[in-house]
Structures are given as structure tokens and as C-alpha cells.
Structure 1
Amino acid sequence: MTLMSHRNRLHPPLQSEPVRRIEAGPWAIELLPGCAYATRYVATQAGIGFAFDSQRGLHAIGSDRVQPFVAMPNGLAFVPVGCDVLSESPRGGEYLRVIRTDGIALEGDRAFNNRIDQQATALAWRMRAALLQASVEGDWEAWALALSERVTGSEAESTAPHGSITGNRMRLLDEFIDAGLDGPLSVPAMAGLLGLSEGYFMRAFKNATGKSPHAYLIDRRLARARALMRDSTATLTEIAYACGFNSQAHMATTFKQRLGMSPAQLRQCSRFS
């Protein structure tokens, strides 16, 4: 990976972030790091997934037809028992996976992804924060059950319309953001890239992803920072500038607000987990 500023040179790679896992009653809950992956399996248990980041790759879910996919940020997913799954991505994205392990099947026989559900989003982000902090405290069983109800129960919502923010437009946005992440990026610039007015773009983006463009940009900066902390020995100051933060202190404040821990704490956890 090459940084765009001479201030931010990469050094030899470090150990990657670990898979963070907790078992609570009949539930196994995992936070998978954002990295390249390739997997093929038949689901012996139904699985619930939640994509924190947008990600792209190839998949075949319950079918022998392999086709490109785009996972939208804040997208809820479900894989029923017995479903044949092939999925691979050159970059991946941070992903929450929840499985029931006591043999009691989750309802539902249809795989889906990219469902935007505000209550599921709040639950997933709460679980993510607790897993990042390696916290065993928390109402894990209740959280997992509530998330499963958003997928399979009477509370489940149909997929929200994506409006004009399609998978292809999300790909263009991600490429645009990644290319300019070490500098200022604005909502008008993102809207202009797609040929949309600023107001329409903001509404369509929130409808498609469950978050504002500004919040998404911050998440992309954090994801890049975490990747550099994971994959290089660059200093935190170098990483802050490479990801478009004004300073290391600005990056640290954002980490605390969004992840509940400092960059130094997260890097330490990644090294010794």
C-alpha cells in the first residue's frame, strides 16, 4: 500500500487485527476484521451478518452462479441453514457474525443482504464497541436475540429502497474517497461525482446506508487508519495525516468517540491478541 503524502511512509507489516469472539449462552458472536478473504461452505447453522463497511467482491449464495456483489455499509444479512455459500473479496470490510449454537434453528429460509434496519444498526454498533474493548460485560444474549428478531421475527423489515445510491455508485464513491482520503473531502464533491444535487445526495445516501455522508467519510478515515496500524509500523502521527485528520490528537478523539478506545490502545490489542 502506498501513501499519498511524503510524510506518511509505510514500514514492514505487523500482525493483523484478530477475530474478536465471545460466546454467551446459545450464541457465538464474532467481529471479523476488514481484510481480504475467500470462503466456501455449507451453513450448518443459520447465520446473521452485519457489514459495518462497504465491500465488494464475488459471491454465490444458495446458487452455483458466481456474480459480483456490493455490501452496503450498515447492511444486515442472513444465511439460512443448509445454504451453500461462496464469497470472496480482495479487501473485505469489518463484519459482525452471530450464530446460534444450541441446535435451535433460526426461522427463515431465504438468504438476503443489504437490509437497512435502524434498530439492527444500533444493536450491531453496540456489540462492535464491546468486542473492540474486549468487554465481557454486557447483555450479550439479549443483544443477540434482539438482532435475530430483526432478521427473522415479526419485527423484521423489508429491505429499504436504495434510491439513487446503487452498488455501482457506491463503488465510485469509495474509489473517489480512497484516492483523496489524505486531504479534505466534501459532500458537494461527492454529490457532484454522481451528478446529484447536494440535498438530494444527502437524503439518498442516508436512505441507502442508514448514515450521513459525513459519518461515512469519518468511518472510512477510521478504517484506513486501522488498516495502517495493522499493516505497517508507521507512527500514529504519520497515520493521522495519511487519513485526513488534522493531527494525531484529532484522530485520537475520533477513535474515542467512535470506537471507545484510543489508537494506541487498539494498536496494542492488535499486536498482542
Structure 2
Amino acid sequence: MTLEDLVRLRRARDVMDRDYARPLDVPALAKVALMSPGHFSRSFRAAFGETPYSYLMTRRVERAKALLRRGDMSVTEVCFAVGCTSLGSFSSRFTELVGETPSAYRARGHEADAALPACIAKILTRPRRDGRSVGPGEAGTAVP
């Protein structure tokens, strides 16, 4: 993979980070990266270790966690606010990444997280592929 390819892939990843709530699909992201959809998907996975869809859903779940911690939106409202169109798919992916349902996550206390600066809270609450987030007591494991 060339440096130019990596720059274009990062441009597409930046679009996902910034515009996660918009309808984004592989062909649209491939166009941003100036690649065919198949080449984009393979290259993205090789560069970042996950598929474009998986990366996008992780960003959406990450934002959903922040909205659910606030407690002023329903799970359905959060689902649509982060760009998901199916409550069932959103709930399944949220549960897979976080280890609990969106309703259970919203219902439990988040007082310990409230005292943390936003930049640290983002690191500690980032969804992980092993199905759990790093808790406040595990801060040393989240920062290299």
C-alpha cells in the first residue's frame, strides 16, 4: 500500500469520524478515497484492522454512549441521532461492543465519569471489540 493510498483512506476515515450521523455507505466512502468500493474495503481493513462498516458503527456507538449518559434522550432518539436507521441493529451492535443493552447502559449511574475531563472520558468509554469498555478503575490500561 502506498503512502498516497493511506492518505486517501485517512480522508475517508475522517469523513466517518465527522459525519457519522449521515447515511454513509462503502461506495460513497470509496469515492472520497478515489478507489473502487472493493479495493477501498480491502485496503481499509488492511490499514485499520477492521471493515469500514465496523469502524463507522464503533464511532456511532461511541457517540451513542455519550448521548445515553446525558439521560435526556430515549434509546430510539439516540439511535436515529447517531445515524442508525434500525433500532434492532443499533441495539445489537451496541450490546456487542459495550457488553450491555443501550437501555441498561442509560439506566446505570455514570457519576464517576462525570468528573473526568472529556478527553479522558472519551478514552475510557471507547467501545472495544472484546465487548467491554475500559472502566474508571482501569485507566492505566487505556493509555499506553
Q: TM-score, normalised by structure 1?
A: 0.36
What are the within-5 Å matches in structure 2 for residues 121-200 of structure 1? 164-166=5-7, 169-170=9-10, 172-200=11-39
Matches of residues 46-85 of structure 1 in structure 2 within 5 Å? none
What's 1:237 paired with? 76
Aligned to 2:40: 201
Aligned residues: 111
- Structure-2 separation of matches of 1:220 and 1:241: 14
Displacement, 1:196? 1.2
Shift in Å at residue 245 of structure 1? 1.7
Q: Deviations over 1:31-50 (max 9, x none)?
A: xxxxxxxxxxxxxxxxxxxx
- Contact 1:169 1:194 (8 Å CA) reproduced: yes
Which residue of structure 2 aligns with residue 224 of structure 1?
A: 63
Counterparts of 1:178 and 1:209, CA distance in 2: 14
1:210 aligns with 2:49: yes
- Tell me if the contact between 1:162 and 1:204 (Cα under 8 Å) persists in the aligned partners: no
Which position in structure 1 is the counterpart of 2:141? Answer: none
Question: What's the % identity of the aligned pairs?
Answer: 30
Once the two structures are superposed, the pairs formed by residues 90-109 of structure 1 within 5 Å of their partners are none
Higher radius of gyration, 1 or 2: 1
- Quick check: which one's strand share is greater? 1
Cα pair 1:256 1:262 within 8 Å, conserved? yes
Counterpart CA distance in 1 for 2:95 and 2:67 is 18
- Structure 1 residue 237: Cα displacement: 1.3
Matches of 2:80 and 2:43 in 1, distance apart?
Answer: 30
Larger proportion of helix: 2
Check whether the contact 2:17–2:56 (CA below 8 A) recurs between aligned residues: no
Deviation at 1:215, TM superposition (A): 1.1
Query: Does the aligned pair in 2 maintain the 1:230–1:267 contact within 8 Å?
Result: yes
- RMSD of aligned alpha carbons: 2.5
Task: Give me the whole-angstrom Cα distance separating, in 2, the residues matched to 1:203 and 1:248.
Answer: 28
What is the CA–CA distance in structure 1 between the aligned matches of 2:109 and 2:27, rounded to whole Å? 36
> Relative CO higher for 1 or 2, CA cutoff 8 Å, sep ≥ 6?
1
The separation in 1 between residues aligned to 2:68 and 2:22, in whole angstroms, is: 19
Contact 1:228 1:234 in 2 (8 A): yes
